[in-house]
Structure 1
Amino acid sequence: MKVLKFGGTSVANAENIQKVKAIVASEKVEKNMVIVVSALGGVTDLLLKTASLAVNHDETYKETLQYIEDRHLETIQNLIPITSQSPIISKVKQDLNQLETLFEGLFLLGEMTPRTSDKIVSYGELLSSYIISEYFKASQLDAALKDSRDLIKTNNQFGKALVDFKLTNTNCYFYFKSAKQLITVVPGFVSSTLEGETTTLGRGGSDYTAAIIAGATDANLLEIWTDVSGMYTANPKVVKQAKAIEKISYEEAMELSHFGAKVLYPPTVQPVLQKQIPILIKNTFKPEEIGTLIVKDEKSTELPVKGISNVDKVALLTLEGVGMVGIPGISKRLFEVLSQESISVILITQASSEHSICLGISAADTTRAKVAVNEAFAYEISLKKIEPANIESGLSIIALVGDQMKSHQGLSGKMFSTLGKNNVNIRAIAQGASERNISAVIDEKDVNKALNALHERFFEEQTKQLNLFVTGVGNVGEKFLAQIHQQKKFLKERLKLNVRVIALSNSKKMVFNENGISLSNWKEELAAGEVASLNGFFEKVKGLNLRNSIFVDNTANDVVAATYAPYLRNSIAVVTCNKIAAASDYKNYQLLKKLSFNYNAPFLFETNVGAGLPIIDTLKNLIASGDSIHTIKAVLSGSLNFVFNNFKESSTFHDVVQQAKKEGYTEPDPKIDLSGVDVARKILILARESGYQIDMENIENLPFLPQESLDTPTVPEFFETLKTHDAHFNALYEKAKANGARLKYVATFENGKAKVGLEEIPSDHPFYNLEGKDNIVLFYTDRYQEQPLLIKGAGAGADVTASGIFADIIRVGSN
C-alpha cells in the first residue's frame, strides 16, 4: 500500500488538480492507494480571516465567504464535465450554507471557541477532498472518498488534538483491508472525538494525517507531494546553489525540519518512524525529478553535513546571577515557568560556571516569557542574586545538520571560521551530544550571508564567490573589468573563484545588480543607473550584506579614499590603486590597518607602488620572514621614467609630457607626477610597510619644476608653463648628457629618512638602462646587504595597473 499526500499548492486550482490526477493515474497500484489532500491553496487562511471578521461584527465577512464559494464552484466547473456538475455543485453549496450559518452565529455572538474554529477550518479539506474524489471518478479512476473523521480519533483538545492511536490504527486497518476501490481520497488535517465532534491536528495536519494512515496500514511508502523537489541543502530561495538531497535519515530530516525546512513538519515522521516506512518528498510540478527519500539509516559516503537550515524571528532570553551558581533546581524552575506559559524552547546553552542560562524562544513569546520569568524569580531578583531576565531580539538560528558529523573532526571550526571571516557575529552556540546538529544564534540581517557562505564552504566544491563593488571605470577601471570578463571561466575552473561584479559607479551614475552585472554590456547598464552618491553606494553595499564583499577603488580621488574605514568596519575588503589613503596621515593609515585586522577585511593596495609589480607583496614577505629593511633605492614613477627616457634634443619637454598623459602613464593631473608628490607617496608607503612611522612632511622633496609650474591651478595652465620654461628643461638634459649620465627621478629611504628628486645616473648604475615606463626597486636588508634584492618591470599603464588590482582580488579570494 502507498499513501500520497498533496499539499495546498498542489491542489490550489483546477490546473494543479489535473497535475495531481496525472500523477495518481501514472502510479502502478494493484490495491489500496490513499490520496490525502489539503484544502485548496490559501482557503484555510481565508476561513480564519472570515471568522475573525464575523467575530468583530464586520459584515465584509460575507464578501470573503462569497469568494471562498466562488473558488470552489469555479474549480468544479473547470474539472467536471458539465453534464455531471449539478449534484456536485448542489452538495458543495449545501456544505457552504452550513458554513454560512456558523459565520452568522459568530457575527451575533462576537466570540469564537476552539471547538467552533475547528469546525470552520475543517470545511477546507472536506470540500477539496470531495471535489477531487468526484473529479477522479469522472476521469474513470477507481476512486472513493473516505471522511478522515471516521478513521482518526482524538481527544477533545480542539486546535491541536491528540490522536488515540490504538483506536485510530484499528479503524484504518479494518477499513482499508476491506476497501474495494483502488484509490481512496481522504481529507487531511481533520479528525474527530469519540463523540463525533470535529477536531483538527494542528500545524502540518495534512502531513500528519498521511503519516498516521501509513503507519496504521504498514504502507510501503509515504509520498509527500509539494511545490519543491525535496529537502534541500539550504533554503533555495536564499541560496541559489542549493540542491535537493537525494537520501536522508529520519533523524536528519527531523533536525532540518525543526530548524526551518518547511517541506516537512517533525511530528509527521513519528507515526512512520518505528515501522521504518520510507518517506519520499516529490514536486507536483516537476514529477520527473528524483526528490528526497527519507529512510531509517542513511549510510551515505558523501559529505558529513547534509543540510544547513535556519529559524527566523528568534529571541534570546538570558537569566544570570551569582545566586544561580551551585543552586539546584534553578533550571527546573525556569523551564516550568515557560512550560506553564506554553512557550517552546528552541535552543539551550548554559555556561559551565552555572552563572547564566540562555534560551532561544520565538520572538512572539518574548513579552510573556520575560514577565513570567521575572515573576517566578522575583525574590532572587529583589535580593540582587539574579538579574531580571534579559531579552535580545532580531535574531535567527542557523544549524548544520548531518548524522555523520560526529565522525568528522573540525566541522565546528570550519563553520565558525567561515562565519567569522564574513563578520557574522555569533550570539550563542548549542551542540547536542549526538553531534547531529551544530546551532548558532546570529543577527537576522546576517542570515542570507551566513547561509550562502556556509553552503559555499560545505557543498560547492570549494568554489568561493567574490562579490565586487567597483567605483571608477576610466582607463584602469575599464581594463580591469575587461580582464575579469576574459578570465571569469579560468578563475572558476582553475582557482575555484566565482567573481561577480555586483555594482559599478563613476562620478555621475551607479548601478547595482545582486545577481551580477553583465560585463558584456556594463556601459549600457551603468548609463541607465541612478545618480551616483558615495554614501548611497556604501549604504547599498552594506545593506546587501553579501559574503566575500570587496570594494574596488580605481580612482585617484581623495574623497573616495576617505570612505575606506566604514567598509572595513563592516568586514568589506578594500582593494585600491588609489595611493591617497595609504599615504594619508599616519594615524589614518594605522587606523585602516587596524580595522583590516580587527574585522578580518583585507586592505590591499599592491598597485600603489609599481602598478602590477609585486613590490609591496615582496616587502611584506621580507618583513614577515624576520628580515629588516635598511635602505630602499627606487625609480617608482613609470610616467617620469617614460618622460625622461623620451625627452631628447628632437622633442620638447611639453610634448613628451602630453604624450605620457595621452597614453595613460600619468595621473589625470600630470603635475602630481612631475611635482614628485606621487613618488613621495610611494616611498612613504614602502617606508610604512617596512615598519617605520613616517608622514609626508618628513619626506624631502627636491622639485625640478619651476615654481610657476607648481603654482598653476589647472592642467591646461600647467602645460602652458612647460612651454614657457622650455629652456629650463633643456638645460637639465644637456647638463646630464655632458656628464655621461641620464636623468632619473629617484626615491631614497635610508636610516629612517626619505627623499625624492631628479638625479643624474651614471652609466654603471643599475638605473641607467631603465627603459620606457619601467620601475625598479632595490631593497638593502639584513639578508641582502651587498647585493640588493631587485624588482624591475613595467610600472605604469592602465593594463598593468588593472592586472595588479586583479592580483589583489585573487589574494582576497585565497585568504
Structure 2
Amino acid sequence: MIVIKFGGSSVADRQQIEKVANIIKSRADQPQMVISSAHKGVTSQLIEAATQAAQGHLDIPLALARQQQICQSLGCPDACLKTLYEELTALLRGISLVRELSARTLDYVASFGERMSVRVIAWYLRQQRLNALPFDAWELGLITDSNFGAARPIEGYQQAIAKQRTTFENVIPIVTGFIAKDQQGNITTLGRNGSDLSATLFAEALVADSCEIWSDTDGVMSADPGLVANARNIPQMSFREASELARFGSRILHPASLEPVTRAAIPLRVMNTNAPEHPGTLIRQTTSDHRDHITSIAYKEHQTIVTINSSAMLQHSGFLAEIFTILGRYQIVVDMISTSEVSLSFSTESSAQLNLALRELKAFGDCEVVNNKTIIAIVAPQPNDFIRYNVDVLAILQAQQIDTEMLSLGYRSINLMLLIDDVHISQAVQSLHNAFFTH
C-alpha cells in the first residue's frame, strides 16, 4: 500500500484537481490511500468568517464562497455538500449569538475545509471512473488528545486504524488530513501542515510500503525558494536531516510528521504536483548521497528571547530544573538555549502562556524579553560537517552588517543555529546559501 497526501495548493482548483486525478491513476496498480487538505484558501475563509461571527458580524456567503466556486468549476452538485453547508451555517450563527470563539469551536469550524474537500474530490474521481469514497479521519480510527489546535494521537491509534482496513478494501479512500476527534467526540486539528502528520500516522498504522507528500515545490529545497531564486532540490536525505528542517521552519513538512515513518522505517518522498515527472526528495533512514555541501538553510521567524540574569545560578544544581518545570507547566516549547554561570537565554514563540510563565520566572532574577528575532538553522548531512566546509558563517553575516546575537551547536549535532533580527531574514539566508552552494 501507498499513502499519498495532497496539500492545499495541489487541490486548489479544477486544474490542480485534474493533476491529482492523473497522479492517482498512475498508481492504480497498487492499493492506495489519499489524504487531502482543504482547497487552498477555504480554511482561511472559514476562520475569518468565524472570527467575524464572534464579533457579531455574521457572513455566511464569506464562509462558503471559495468552496462553492470550486464546486461550480467541477460541476459538483450542491447536494454533495448540502448537509455540511447546513451544519456550518448553524455553527456560525451560534458563534454570532454567543459572541465567543473557543479553541474547541475554532477547530470545529476549521474542520469543514477538509470535510468538504474530500467529498468533492471523491465525487470528481468517481466521474473519472475511479472507485473513490470520502472518509473523515476519525471514521478510520484516528483519535487524538484534546489539545485543540495542536492535537496528537493517543496511544493505540495504530491498532485502531489497522482494524478499520476492511472499511476501505477495494476502494480508494479519500481521507481528511489535519483533523481528528478526541475521546469525547470533539473535533480536533493537528496544527500547521497537520495533514502531513495524518498521512504518516496512517502509513505507519497500515504498514505502508511508502508515503508521498505532494506540494508545489520539487521536493525539499536547499532554502526557501521564495527567498533564494537558485535554491536546489535535495535528491535524498535522512530522517534526521528532514526532522531538523521541519522543526526549524521548513515549510514542506509538519515538525512531527517524520516520527511515525521513522519508527516504521517507511520511505517518504516529497514531490511536486505540477511536475510529477520530477523525482522530488526521497527521505529514509540512511542515505548514500555523499554531498559536498550542507543540506539546507531553514529559518524560524517571530521568536521571543527570554534572558534570566541571576547570581543564584552560580553552583545551584537545581536552578535549571526549576526553570524548566515552570516552562513545562505552561507548555512553553524552547528551540534554542544558551547558559553561562549567571544567566540563561532561551527562544520560544510569544504567547499568552509565555506571559503567564514570565510572572513566575521573574522570581528567579532579572528577566529581559526581546521580540522579533529569527533562528537561522543550517542543517548538514553529518556532525562536524560545518567545520569541513570551511565556511565562516559569522564573517559572512557580519559582512552584510548582520549581527549574530546567539549561537548554538550541540554535541554531534547536524544543526547549527544562529539568532538574528527578523528584518535580516532574506539577506541572511541568501548570503549563507551563496557561501555554501556557489562553487
TM-score by length of 2: 0.93
Counterpart for residue 43 of structure 2: 44
Among candidates 181, 190, 214, match of residue 225 of structure 1: 214
Select the residue among 54, 62, 65 that pairs with 1:64: 62
Would you say the 8 A contact 1:344–1:361 is kept in 2?
A: yes
* Higher RCO structure (Cα 8 Å, ≥6 apart): 2
Structure 2 residue aligned with 1:342: 331
Query: Is 1:272 matched with 2:261?
Result: yes
How has the CA–CA distance of structure 1 residues 112 and 407 changed in structure 2, closer, same or farther, with 3 Å as cutoff?
Answer: closer
CA–CA distance in structure 1, aligned partners of residues 91 and 391 of structure 2:
58
Deviations 1:107-160 (A, max 9, x none): 111113333322222111111000100110111112222221112122333333
> Contact between 2:297 and 2:433, CA under 8 Å: does it hold in 1?
yes
* Per-residue deviation, residues 392-431 of structure 1 (Å, max 9, x unmatched): 3332111210132425635576222322333321101011
Deviation of 1:313 (Å): 1.2
Q: Is the 8 A contact 2:361 2:367 kept in 1?
A: no
Q: Does 1:360 align with 2:377?
A: no
CA contact 2:326–2:360 (8 Å) conserved in 1: no
- 2:153 equivalent to 1:163: yes
Identity of aligned residues (%): 29
2: CA distance, partners of 1:377 / 1:72? 49
| DSSP 3-state at the match of 1:9 | helix
3-state SS of 1:426 partner: coil
Match of 1:22 in 2: 22
- Aligned to 1:395, the other structure's residue is in SS state strand
What amino acid maps onto 1:71 in structure 2?
A: R
**How big is each residue's C-alpha offset from its partner over 1:248-277, in whole Å with a ceiling of 9 and x where there is no partner?**
111101111111111001111111111111
- Consecutive unaligned residues of structure 1, counting only runs of 5 or more, are 381-385, 462-815
Please say if residues 80 and 119 of structure 2, whose CA atoms lie closer than 8 Å, have aligned partners that are also in contact: no
What CA deviation, in whole Å up to 9, does each residue of 1:324-354 have, x standing for no partner?
2111222122222233333221200112xx2
For the Cα contact (< 8 Å) 1:150–1:192, is it kept in 2?
A: no
Which structure has the larger Rg over C-alpha atoms?
1
Q: Distance in 1 between matches of 2:381 and 2:16?
A: 36
Question: Structure 1 71/425 Cα, relative in aligned 2: closer, same or farther at 3 Å?
Answer: closer
Correspondent of 2:357 among 366, 369, 372: 372
Aligned twin of 1:250: 239
Per the alignment, in what secondary structure is the counterpart of residue 373 of structure 1?
helix
| Superposed CA offset, 1:271-328 (max 9, x none) | 1111111111111112222211111112321125111111111232111132321112
Which residue in the other structure is 1:74 paired with? 69
Q: Distance in 2 between matches of 1:339 and 1:251?
A: 25
**Structure 1 runs (4+) greater than 6 angstroms displaced:** none
Within 5 Å, which residues of 2 pair with 1:674-689? Answer: none
Distance 1:320 1:196, change over 3 A: closer
The structural deviation recorded for 1:95 is: 1.4
* CA displacement 1:366-415 (0-9 Å, x = unmatched): x864663354443x5xxxxx3x2112333211121013242563557622
CA RMSD of aligned residues (A): 2.1
Q: What is the CA distance between 1:4 and its match in structure 2?
A: 0.6
**Does the C-alpha gap of structure 1 residues 316 and 198 become closer, same or farther in structure 2, counting only changes over 3 Å?**
closer
- Structure-2 separation of matches of 1:188 and 1:368: 27
Question: Does the CA-based 8 Å contact 1:370-1:389 persist in structure 2?
Answer: no
Contact residue 41 and residue 66 of structure 2 kept, 8 A: no
1:64 offset after TM fit, Å? 1.2
Structure 2 CA distance for aligned equivalents of residues 273 and 312 of structure 1: 27
1:457 aligns to what? 435
Residue matched to 1:33: 32
Q: Distance in 2 between matches of 1:271 and 1:184?
A: 20
The residue number in structure 2 matching 1:439 is: 417
Q: CA deviation at 1:182?
A: 4.5
> Could you tell me how far apart the structure 2 residues matched to 1:198 and 1:73 are?
23
Distance 1:445 1:203 in 2: 23
Which residue number corresponds to residue 395 of structure 1?
373
- Residue equivalent to 1:494: none
Q: Distance in 2 between matches of 1:178 and 1:117?
A: 29
Deviation at residue 208 of structure 1 after TM alignment: 1.2
Superimposed CA distance per residue, residues 22-45 of structure 1 (whole angstroms, 9 cap, x where no aligned partner): 111122423x21111011112112
Q: Tell me: CA distance 1:300–1:414, structure 2 relative to 1, closer, same or farther (3 Å).
A: farther
The counterpart of 2:78, out of the listed 86, 89, 93, is 89
Per the alignment, do residues 194 and 398 of structure 1 end up closer, same or farther by CA in structure 2, a change over 3 Å counting? closer
Structure 1 counterpart of 2:88: 99
